[in-house]
């Protein structure tokens, strides 16, 4: 039988996960194997290349031809490197450069690979060999010797006996990496309060709403019903921390028929004649929510499909997000430009622990 | 780790003698300084068994080598810096656009270095192949039971490699600082911020301040080319050392036992076949890189937190994580104790961690249920371990649901469906699919075992129709030869544990659980055909050898009569 390590245990013993004894290890639950006899290795079958010298000669030719083809592929790739310059910025040249260097290299690789495998399969002696397995565990003598060595080391050092030394060693080993770990505190900013930073954006009273990315201010009169604009705060493009600010301050501006909007009492006056501005940063994990369905007035996040209803103050109507998109209160200044009344009244973007 | 290997046919390596020519002299020089002859003696004729599925791990290994080679080339050109610069390279549409040095250098590699785009694409395709082949290799190991003793620890090492490979993939994907990679990082940032207590600070530590900051690319670069590869190489080496220590598993076959391994020696056959296979894998990657564009960052432009990127997908191996985020039902975020609890993020993260954890510890779960402490070197055919195979199929189905969810928007737009409808279907799939897959797989496995048993006992249909003198037509059944039959009968069937009081006369809850799980695993089983049954079925063969009327139960003998190892 193949499964010759099965123990002599006759049936399932419920506590059969007992300690291993000697080299015989329990099979746990009862095992039913077949008592059909292993027929032993089948007789070796000669290959056509073993029997027919002409076929062997043919295989021989195939192998060296493939190796020569590989050399040809390498030369082809080298030639392609020189023959297809890309420096003039022509996209076709780039494509040809990539294609032909790649094809030459692939031919070089396939040549070697196919030749070696064919050589191994068709020409090398294909007599199978047998290795005998031994249990992975060390022999009893080895294990006894290992235990003896540890015992001896324990005696010679007094590791087990001198407990004060041992325990202080363990303590020291635990303590010494701590300063190193603390150094990694430096990965984060030292004099900033994350909660403070996450709670505010660039928007402040009187910031003009400008087009993303040009920074041109927009007038209320430019916004027609049904249109949508990508908005950034005035002065964003001059900021050193442009991306960090933009990641919080990006806004979508839409104009709807004022009678379509359901405005709650505390947000009266946050919009201007049907023009509403909402944070573009998804309240789920922060992707830009920028797919606006003009007919349904839904905003869809392309990342995880959270859907916000602009008619109802950007409440979530589908998807993993929970909170509505924060609304930016807007008004019109004396020149007719749209400006913010204030910053957002709550942190924008993904939720975080200290948010509320 | 090394034991003395009896190798009856092993030929002694040519002893370097004086006058052996330059090779002999060189070998002698080397051996006198390194003892290299001992290595050749030990491993030169080491036997590896043959099966196509054993090559999946090889594909992983070789694609990793290709990744190292192509990645090293890329490091000579790539600049892991987020310093703002204006693009002045060969790609006209982006001329003058403000971007980070990282994006600029990635474009430089693509458009100004000859063959640079090819190497970038080789690197990316090889990375995808690396993770895919690791995944398939793990499935092979799982479904054949190769993770059983003594290989449980190597399964865990392999799992760590899988996770490291995904981490390598994600850090690499994020390096060019293009629109999509930045968006991916934004999602990671949101995910981290959603973690209770530590989220906000973890995000600030990772990004060096507010997202996106100017540190993240440099930091990911250190992870991508130094820290993660170092750990990966160390674990890879350990993984391979254990393959040598354990010797490779083999499928059941004539002559094969738990105590031997039959196959071809490393020198010369495996050196040729495996060595050649490396070049074939590399060749396939090179071919893909020549023909198929991957990650065309020039189409996306530099990262900007604002532009729309509808229909974008993460690289495929991150899809299951992204999909988990999409599948969570709405409304799962609460304010409690004056803090924000984002269960819409916490639950998917926990689900993913549990899925991975279950994969990680599965060998111990099964080992505990069976109580089997023997070494196993003969692989199970998946059908012969129906419950395990069904569990695996359930796991694959769950993973597939998460994965499909990551493309829910594309499925909706391509097939003109509503996004809500697609999500709801995939939600149902994620919850019910694993159960359906479990039951179907288990039944199919048992059906296949019955079929095997039928073939063993009554032969296979030969397709030859014979008309009997009485006018009746029958199809002739041919018997298998001994070698083919052995492949079908060489497996074990476990009986469920009976719940019996222990030595103190008690039944503990643990014993109850174990017994219940054992019943669940092994209640439905088909025992391999015994000699008696064979005898009864076709009345020839080993009549003289029959000694008992029932299948041997836990009393299997050593057929080789030798090879004991006391």
Nearest beta carbon to residue A97 from set B114, B270, B378: B114
Average pLDDT of chain B, as a whole number: 91
Tell whether B537 lies on the interface with A, counting CB pairs under 8 A: no
* Residues in chain B closer than 8 A to A323 (CB atoms): 333
- Closest residue to A39, CB basis, from B482, B552, B566: B482
pLDDT at B316: 93
Can you give the length of chain B in residues?
A: 566
Q: What is the pLDDT of residue B539?
A: 60
Outline where DSSP puts E strands in B407-510.
460-467, 473-478, 492-494
Q: Tell me phi and psi for residue A86, to 5 degrees.
A: -120, 5
Q: What is the percentage of chain A residues whose pLDDT exceeds 70? A: 92
Architecture of domain A197-355: 3-layer Sandwich (2.102)
- Cα of B437 to nearest chain A Cα, Å: 27
Residue numbers of B between 475 and 504 with CB closer than 8 Å to A? 482-483, 485-486, 489-503
Cβ of residue A261 closer than 8 Å to a chain B Cβ: no
Those of residues 286-305 in B touching chain A at CB distance below 8 A are 286-287, 289-291, 303-305
Here the tokens at position A178 are 């701590």
The helix or strand, by DSSP H or E, that contains position A338, with its residue range, turns out to be strand A338-340
Give the whole-angstrom CA distance, residue A253 versus residue A225: 11
What Cα–Cα distance (Å) separates residue B381 from each residue in A39, B141, B287, B369, B389?
19, 11, 34, 19, 9
**Residue A250 pLDDT > 50:** yes
Listed in sequence order, the DSSP H helices in A84-193 are: 91-118, 140-157, 163-175, 177-183
Judge: domain B126-378, CATH 1.10.940.10.
no
User: What are the pLDDT digits (tens) for B496-538?
Assistant: 988 888 889 899 999 999 999 999 999 999 999 999 999 888 7
Asked if residues B249 and B144 have their Cβ atoms less than 8 Å apart, the reply is yes
B151 backbone dihedrals φ, ψ, rounded to 5°: -105, 15
CA distances from B30 to B9, B24, B26, B36, B362 (A): 26, 10, 6, 7, 46
CA–CA gap between residue B293 and residue A96 (Å, rounded): 13
| Residue A9 reports pLDDT greater than 80 | no
User: Which of A35, A133, A354 comes nearest B261 by C-beta?
Assistant: A133
On the CB side of B325, CA atoms within 13 Å amount to 26
Q: Where are the domains of chain A?
A: 48-123, 140-170, 197-355
pLDDT tier at A27 (50, 70, 90 boundaries)? low
Q: Is A228 on the interface with B (CB under 8 A)?
A: no
Residues A194, B482: C-beta atoms closer than 8 Å: no
Q: List CB contacts of B400: < 8 A, sequence separation 6 or more.
A: B433
Q: What is the pLDDT of residue B499?
A: 86
ipTM of the complex: 0.90
Peptide bond before residue B150 is cis, with ω within 30 degrees of 0: yes
What is the residue-wise DSSP string for B497-520?
A: PP----TTS---HHHHHHHHHHHH
Give, to the nearest 10 degrees, the angle between helix B116-143 and helix B271-291.
Answer: 130
Across B310-328, average pLDDT? 91
Question: Residue B2: is its pLDDT beyond 80?
Answer: no
- pLDDT above 50 (res A259): yes
Q: Per the CB < 8 Å rule, is B269 touching A124?
A: yes
| DSSP three-state, residue B99 | strand
* Model pTM score: 0.91
* A243, A291, A316: best to mutate for the B interface, most B CBs within 10 A: A243
Start and end residues for every CATH 1.20.810.10 domain found in chain B: 126-378
Contacts of B558 in chain A (CB under 8 A): 1, 4
Nearest-by-CA chain B residue for A113:
B276
């Amino acid at each position: 039988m193949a499964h010759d390590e099965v123990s002599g245990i006759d049936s399932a013993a419920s506590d059969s996960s007992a300690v291993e004894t000697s080299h015989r290890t329990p099979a746990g639950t009862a095992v039913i194997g077949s008592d059909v006899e292993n027929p032993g290795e089948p007789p070796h079958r000669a290959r056509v290349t073993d029997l027919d010298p002409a076929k062997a000669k043919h295989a021989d030719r195939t192998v060296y031809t493939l190796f020569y083809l590989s050399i040809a592929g390498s030369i082809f790739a080298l030639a392609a490197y020189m023959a297809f310059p890309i420096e003039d910025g022509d996209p076709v040249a780039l494509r040809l450069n990539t294609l032909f260097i790649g094809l030459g290299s692939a031919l070089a690789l396939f040549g070697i690979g196919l030749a070696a495998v064919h050589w191994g399969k068709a020409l090398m002696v294909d007599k199978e060999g047998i290795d005998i397995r031994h249990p992975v565990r060390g022999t009893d003598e080895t294990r006894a010797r290992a235990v003896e060595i540890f015992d001896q080391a324990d005696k010679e050092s007094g590791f087990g006996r001198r407990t004060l030394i041992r325990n202080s060693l363990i303590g020291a080993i635990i303590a010494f990496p701590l300063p190193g770990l603390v150094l990694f505190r430096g990965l984060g900013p030292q004099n900033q309060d994350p909660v403070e930073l996450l709670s505010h954006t660039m928007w402040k009273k009187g910031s003009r709403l400008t087009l993303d990315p040009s920074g041109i201010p927009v007038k209320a009169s430019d916004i027609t019903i049904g249109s949508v604009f990508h908005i950034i705060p005035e002065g964003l493009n001059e900021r050193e921390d442009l991306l960090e600010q933009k990641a919080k301050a990006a806004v979508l501006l839409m104009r709807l028929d004022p009678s379509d909007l359901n405005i709650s009492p505390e947000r009266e006056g946050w919009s201007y004649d049907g023009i509403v501005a909402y944070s573009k940063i998804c309240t789920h994990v922060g992707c830009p929510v920028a797919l606006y369905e003009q007919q349904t007035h839904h905003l869809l996040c392309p990342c995880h499909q959270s859907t916000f209803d602009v008619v109802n103050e950007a409440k979530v109507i589908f998807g993993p997000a929970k909170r509505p998109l924060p609304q930016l209160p807007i008004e019109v200044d004396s020149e007719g430009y749209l400006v913010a009344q204030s910053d957002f009244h709550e942190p924008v973007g993904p939720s975080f622990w200290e948010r509320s | 780790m090394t034991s003395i290997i009896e190798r009856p046919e092993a030929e002694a390596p040519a002893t370097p003698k004086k006058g052996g020519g330059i090779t002999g002299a060189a070998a002698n020089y080397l051996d006198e300084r390194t003892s290299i002859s001992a290595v050749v003696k030990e491993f030169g004729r080491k036997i590896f068994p043959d099966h196509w599925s054993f090559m999946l791990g090889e594909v992983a290994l070789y694609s990793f080598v290709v990744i190292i080679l192509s990645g090293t080339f890329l490091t000579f050109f790539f600049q892991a810096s987020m310093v703002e610069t204006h693009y002045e390279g060969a790609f006209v549409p982006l001329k003058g656009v403000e971007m980070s040095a990282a994006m600029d250098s990635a474009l430089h590699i693509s458009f100004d270095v000859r063959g640079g785009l090819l190497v970038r694409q080789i690197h990316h395709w090889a990375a995808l192949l690396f993770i895919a082949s690791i995944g398939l290799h793990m499935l092979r190991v799982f479904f054949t039971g190769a993770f059983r003793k003594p290989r449980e620890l190597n399964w865990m090492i392999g799992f760590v490699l899988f996770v490291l490979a995904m981490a390598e993939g994600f850090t690499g994907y994020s390096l060019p600082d293009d629109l999509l990679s930045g968006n991916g990082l934004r999602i990671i940032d949101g995910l981290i911020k959603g973690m209770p207590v530590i989220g906000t600070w973890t995000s600030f530590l990772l990004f060096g301040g507010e997202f996106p900051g100017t540190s993240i690319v440099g930091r990911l670069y250190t992870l991508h080319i130094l820290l993660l590869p170092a750990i990966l190489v160390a674990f890879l080496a350990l993984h391979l050392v254990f393959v040598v220590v354990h010797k490779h598993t083999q499928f059941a076959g004539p002559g094969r036992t738990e105590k031997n391994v039959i196959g071809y020696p490393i020198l010369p056959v495996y050196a040729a076949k495996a060595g050649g296979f490396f070049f074939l894998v590399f060749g396939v990657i090179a071919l893909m890189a020549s023909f198929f564009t991957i990650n065309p960052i020039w189409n996306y432009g530099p990262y900007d937190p604002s532009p729309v990127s509808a229909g974008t997908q993460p690289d495929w191996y991150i899809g299951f994580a992204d999909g988990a985020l999409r599948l969570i039902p709405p409304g799962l975020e609460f304010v409690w104790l004056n803090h924000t609890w984002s269960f819409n993020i916490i639950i998917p993260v926990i689900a993913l961690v549990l899925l991975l954890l279950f994969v990680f510890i599965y060998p111990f779960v099964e080992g505990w249920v069976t109580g089997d402490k023997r070494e196993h070197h003969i692989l199970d055919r998946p059908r012969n371990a129906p419950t395990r195979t069904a569990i695996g199929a359930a796991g694959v189905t769950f993973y597939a649901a998460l994965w499909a969810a990551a493309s829910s928007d594309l499925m909706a737009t391509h097939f003109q469906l509503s996004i809500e409808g697609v999500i709801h279907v995939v939600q149902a799939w994620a919850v019910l699919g694993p159960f359906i897959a479990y039951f179907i797989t288990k039944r199919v496995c048992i059906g296949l075992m019955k079929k095997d048993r039928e073939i063993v006992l009554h032969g296979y249909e030969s397709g030859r129709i014979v008309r009997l003198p009485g006018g009746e037509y029958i199809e002739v059944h041919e018997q298998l030869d001994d070698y083919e039959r052995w492949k079908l009968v060489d497996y074990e069937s476990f009986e469920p544990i009976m719940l019996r009081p222990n030595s103190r006369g008690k039944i503990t809850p643990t014993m109850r659980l174990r017994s219940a799980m054992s019943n669940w695993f092994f209640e439905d089983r088909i025992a391999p055909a015994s000699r008696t049954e064979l005898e009864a079925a076709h009345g020839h063969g080993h009549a003289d050898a029959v000694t008992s009327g029932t299948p041997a139960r836990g009393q299997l003998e050593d057929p080789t009569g030798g090879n004991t190892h006391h």
